[in-house]
Amino acid sequence: MFWHAFDLLEVLACTFDDYGNLNFINQQSSNMFMLDSPPKTLDELSEILGLPSFAMHILSQNASKLSPQNEVLVTRSDNGQLEVRVNHKTKLISLQKLGSKPLTNITDDVQTLALKQALKENRIALFRQPIVTSTDGSIVRFECLARMINVDGTIANAADFIPAAERAGLIADLDIAALNLALAALKGRADLQLAVNVSAATIADFNARQEFENMLKHSRNEAGYLTVEITETIAIQDLDVAAKFAAKVRVNNARVALDDFGSGHTSFRSLKAIPLDEVKIDGHYVEKIHERGDSRAFVKAIQSLSHDLGLETIAERVETETEAAILRDIGIFGLQGYLFGRPQAA
């Protein structure tokens, strides 16, 4: 019976309190893993086990070092029991739930555990990406992108934990943590303008929404240098709630932007219903805009409508000077993308 590495990871995480340092190396058979010589790095260990590096950080967070003295043997039996032997001590774990759990869910469990621990230990950082004017390239502000710091100090890829955070209901915690860091960074910095994301899920959560609004209310000076980007990775279910939220954000001195416009989750109803200062055009319409007439027509239409509504426009994912030149000719106010800078630690 083959035991996938993610199942192994979940069980290993359960054994830390009892046994301390764990070191798994070579697969001995289709249902057994056994200790051999220690690897030089966690990345090397993750490669041997076929696990992403962020998963190995969970294994290591309670271990002071990888020690060859810890002899570990794991066997999966046919009766739904797992036998874990560490230094000749045996622990049985039921595999009834593990055996039926889809691999995607097991992966999410790993990512969720990592993020929960990072939030608890304040291991969230903001990486800043510049937004510049299309006319002279001067910096308008920096968008703050939340990143998770692994226990060894490395930075986890957003694609490794953001989707799982959304599915696990942790995105509001991440939004609140990012806002807290941004407001702290703005203290005494009249020369700095920042933007943070708030998801539709956070806005829909009454408690999270209230906390977000109260943080702005108690930091009105700093909020005057902040733009809140409503990020629609999921569709806004209640435009009335979103409109009231945006109004409170603006009352507390911050600006409001609608992010990823045209991504499929946004709609023209959002432009009408939500009090906004800015529209950010999804990068899908920016990529190779010089080769795609339909994308150019869409961007022109959004620019014209935004101008009539008194809204500034920002184009996302600008990567070439050719794209920037077309956007400049259309009249887009601001540009953001790798052409002007990748997200960097503050």
Instruction: Identify the domain boundary among 83, 101, 119.
Output: 101
93 plus 143 within the same structural domain: no
53 plus 139 within the same structural domain: no
Q: Which amino acid is at 288?
A: K
157 sits in the region (left: phi over 0; alpha: psi -120 to 50; else beta) called beta
Tell me, what DSSP letter sits at residue 265?
S
68 plus 157 within the same structural domain: no
119 plus 84 within the same structural domain: no
275 plus 305 within the same structural domain: yes
Q: What is the pLDDT of residues 258-311, one digit of tens each?
A: 999 988 766 788 888 999 999 999 999 999 999 999 999 999 999 999 999 999
116 plus 214 within the same structural domain: yes
74 plus 155 within the same structural domain: no
137 plus 231 within the same structural domain: yes
Residues spanned by the domain of 137 = 108-345
Instruction: Identify the domain boundary among 53, 72, 101.
Output: 101
Structure tokens, 258: 């609608």
Residue ranges of the chain with pLDDT lower than 70?
1-110, 232-235, 265-266
User: Which residues touch 172 (CB under 8 Å, ≥6 apart)?
Assistant: 199, 201, 202, 205, 208
**pLDDT score at 62:** 33
- Residue 237's domain is classified under what CATH number? 3.20.20.450
125 plus 97 within the same structural domain: no
Q: What angle do CA 293, 142, 260 make, to 5 degrees?
A: 35
Instruction: Identify the domain boundary among 70, 101, 132.
Output: 101
**pLDDT score at 225:** 99
Q: What is the pLDDT of residues 211-241, one digit of tens each?
A: 999 999 999 999 999 999 998 656 677 889 9
137 plus 35 within the same structural domain: no
96 plus 112 within the same structural domain: no
Give the chain's domain count: 2
173 plus 290 within the same structural domain: yes
pTM above 0.95, yes or no: no
Q: Which of 133, 156, 132 is nearest to 143 (CA)?
A: 132
Query: Is-contact 177 124, C-beta < 8 A?
Result: yes
Query: Is-contact 183 215, C-beta < 8 A?
Result: yes
Q: Are strands 72-76 and 81-86 parallel, antiparallel or unpaired?
A: antiparallel
